[in-house]
């Protein structure tokens, strides 16, 4: 007995896969987990100290629904300096996680029967949130031989299209869009008077390329809704702290949803967010440097086994083609059951992922080497 709105949503495939591995771990089976999308690093101490200090001095009560002024201003300054966005603190909404921000955006800007463009493959929760809003996802194919960049975007835009979702660096592929690709997306948005949701949660975990915010491009300031957060860059997944920068009319809608649902982000956590943005950034650089090393180990190892993949340019995922060994679902089950290696089937992220698996290298070099040995024993 659930609503038709809820029935349109599916269980998160990534969490479902992680739960299967967790059940085996509870049975005493040593499972190497390449599933989870969270850094395996501790939150930097100065961030923890700032949140603890705030808690002990009594910052444990309600805040304004958009967030504490100190954090909103720090976010606005960050977006102006690092991302080239013409953002004011009054345009920033602090949310309990970036996922909550994306959920609220879909409810705020999409209506029944409208359409949202997704680049296939895409993070699993976009589709669920679009369906919950009563809209339909429209999948645009991407080129796996060219960083999973989208093509033929214009062929998929209709009079029902309302939104284009951009995720760069991308989960699950690790692809990073260059200026030419983003300019093409921007031109389509302008020509068809569309909004763009730019999910930039992995922006600091990037290797060979520079991150570009599509909202900084000519004509995109008022039509881009920029989403980011602290989970990935600062290893703060459990803190649940994200943010949105949006034009005034969209901001008002998002605030209406937040103030009538979750109220706001946890008070003392927000002071940790201020410390993250204004404090030393060395922990971020050190973490990304380690991810870079792990990426190279995993990509080289997978290709030597025959699981074809290019080096991802951002995030901490490898999207590997397993078609020589079966489809992604079959290989996922085989690796878990026979090698005790947990990965996520590519079909979770869209139809183009049917022959792929996603592996997260947010685990130690030792476990990556061990996982490669187990995969090689089964598939090599």
Confidence of residue 19 (pLDDT cuts 50, 70, 90): confident
* Separation of alpha carbons 234 and 39, rounded Å: 9
Cα-based distances in Å from 57 to 70, 155, 239? 16, 56, 19
Pair type for strands 115-120 and 161-167: parallel
Instruction: Tell me the sheet residues that pair with 224.
Output: 196
Helices (H), strands (E): how many in the chain? 12, 13
Q: What is the pLDDT of residues 109-144, one digit of tens each?
A: 999 999 999 999 999 999 999 999 999 999 999 999
Residue 160 has pLDDT above 80, yes or no: yes
Torsion of CA 293, 371, 171, 83, to 10 degrees: -20
Residue 187: predicted pLDDT? 98
Give the model's pLDDT for residue 1: 67
DSSP conformation class of 336: I
Tokens of 82: 């690092």
Distance CA 239, CA 99 (A): 13
Confidence of residue 23 (pLDDT cuts 50, 70, 90): confident
Place of tokens 């008070």: 267
pLDDT, mean of residues 2-18: 74
Per residue in 350-374, pLDDT (tens digit) is 999 999 999 999 999 999 999 999 9
Looking at the DSSP bridge assignments, the partners of residue 32 are 341
140-154, 211-225, 273-287, 294-308: range with lowest mean pLDDT: 140-154
> pLDDT at residue 16 above 90?
no
pLDDT score for 3: 82
Question: What is the pLDDT of the chain when averaged over all its residues?
Answer: 95
pLDDT at residue 13, as a whole number:
67
What is d(CA 284, CA 269) in angstroms, rounded to the nearest whole number? Answer: 18
Q: What is the pLDDT averaged over residues 329-356?
A: 95
User: Which residues, at least 6 apart from 272, have a Cβ–Cβ distance to it below 8 Å?
Assistant: 43, 47, 48, 50, 51, 54, 230, 236, 239, 241
First vs last C-alpha separation in the chain = 48
**DSSP bridge partners of 378:** none
Beta bridge partners of 117: 138, 164
Q: What percent of the chain has pLDDT over 70?
A: 99
Cis ω before 228 (30° cut-off from 0): no
Query: Which of these, 91, 127, 84, 107, lies nearest to 215 by C-alpha position?
Result: 84
Q: 98: alpha, beta or left, given left = phi > 0 and alpha = psi -120 to 50?
A: alpha
SS3 118: strand
Instruction: Give the model's pLDDT for residue 141.
Output: 96
- Residue 233 and residue 365: Cα distance in Å, rounded? 19
pLDDT greater than 70 at residue 175: yes
Report DSSP letters for 10-38, one per residue.
Answer: ---HHHHHHHHHHHHHHTT---EE----S
Average pLDDT rounded to a whole number, residues 249-272: 97
Please tell me the least confidently modeled range out of 34-38, 44-48, 61-65, 264-268.
34-38
Q: Residue 228 has what pLDDT? A: 98
- pLDDT over 80 (residue 15): no
């Amino acid at each position: 007995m659930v609503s038709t709105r809820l029935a349109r949503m599916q269980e998160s495939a990534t969490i479902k896969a992680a739960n299967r591995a967790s059940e085996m771990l509870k049975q005493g089976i040593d499972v190497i987990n390449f599933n989870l999308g969270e850094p395996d690093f501790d939150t930097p101490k100065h961030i923890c100290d700032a949140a603890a200090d705030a808690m002990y001095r009594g910052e444990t009560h309600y805040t304004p629904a958009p967030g504490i002024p100190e954090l909103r201003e720090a976010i606005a300054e960050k977006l102006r300096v690092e991302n080239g966005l013409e953002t004011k603190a009054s345009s920033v909404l602090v949310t309990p996680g970036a996922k909550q921000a994306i959920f609220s955006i879909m409810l705020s800007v999409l209506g029944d029967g409208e359409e949202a463009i997704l680049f296939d493959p895409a993070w699993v929760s976009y589709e669920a949130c679009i369906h919950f809003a009563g809209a339909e996802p429209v999948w645009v194919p991407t080129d796996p031989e060219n960083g999973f960049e989208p093509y033929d975007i214009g062929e998929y835009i209709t009079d029902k299209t309302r939104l284009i979702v951009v995720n760069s660096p991308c989960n699950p592929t690790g692809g990073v869009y260059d200026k030419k690709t983003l300019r093409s997306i921007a031109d389509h948005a302008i020509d068809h008077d569309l909004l763009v949701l730019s999910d930039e949660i992995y922006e600091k975990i990037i290797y060979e390329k520079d991150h570009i915010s599509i909202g900084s491009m000519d004509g995109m300031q008022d039509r881009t809704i920029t989403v980011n957060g602290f989970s990935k860059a600062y290893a703060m997944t459990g803190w649940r702290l994200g943010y949105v920068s949006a034009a005034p009319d969209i901001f008002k809608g998002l605030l209406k949803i937040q103030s009538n649902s979750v109220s706001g982000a946890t008070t003392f956590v927000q002071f940790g967010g201020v410390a993250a943005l204004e404090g030393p950034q060395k922990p971020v650089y050190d973490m990304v440097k380690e991810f870079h090393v792990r990426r190279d180990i995993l990509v080289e190892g997978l290709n030597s086994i025959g699981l074809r993949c290019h080096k991802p340019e951002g995030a901490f995922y490898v999207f590997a083609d397993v078609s020589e060994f079966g489809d992604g679902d079959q290989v996922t089950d085989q690796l878990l059951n026979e090698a005790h290696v947990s990965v996520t089937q590519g079909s979770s992220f869209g139809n183009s992922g049917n022959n792929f698996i996603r592996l997260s290298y947010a685990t130690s070099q030792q476990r990556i080497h061990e996982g490669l040995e187990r995969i090689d024993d089964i598939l090599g």
